[in-house]
Amino acid sequence: MDKIEEPFDVVVRGGTQKFRQEVTAGSHRLVGDEPMEAGGTDAGPSPYDFLLAALGTCTSITLRMYADRKEWPLTGVTVKLRHFKIHAEDCADCETKKEMIDRIERIIQLEGPLTEEQRSRLLEIANRCPVHRTLQSEINVQTKLL
Q: Do both 22 and 73 map to the same domain?
A: no
pTM of the predicted protein model: 0.86
- The total domain count for the chain is 2
Domain that holds residue 3: 1-45
The parts of the chain modelled with pLDDT lower than 50 are: 1
pLDDT, position 76 = 98
Q: Do both 30 and 55 map to the same domain?
A: no
Q: Do both 38 and 59 map to the same domain?
A: no
- CA 121 → CA 59, 69, 124, 134, distances in Å? 13, 13, 5, 20
